[in-house]
Amino acid sequence: MAKLKITLTKGLVNRKHQQRDTVRTLGLHKIGQSVVREDTPETRGQILAVRHLVTVEEA
């Protein structure tokens, strides 16, 4: 299965609690931090919810 590299590019100050929780669920804590996740429908849905805060690349 393909992998996705997700990087947090914007901060979480003044964001809705749902967006903060989604970013934390993805495993991101600091701006510039990256994680590698499996490309599943669940992960894609989480990325879609916070697409304005993260960048995504194939790994």
Q: Please, which pLDDT band fits residue 52 given cuts at 50, 70 and 90?
A: very high
Q: Please, which pLDDT band fits residue 14 given cuts at 50, 70 and 90?
A: very high
* Domain boundaries, position 50: 3-58
**CB-based burial of residue 21 (10 Å sphere; 0-12 exposed, 13-18 middle, 19+ buried)?**
middle
Return the pLDDT at 1: 82
pTM for the whole structure: 0.94
Q: What is the mean pLDDT of the chain?
A: 97
- What's 41's domain CATH number? 3.30.1390.20
Q: How many domains does the chain have?
A: 1
Paired strand residues for 56: 6
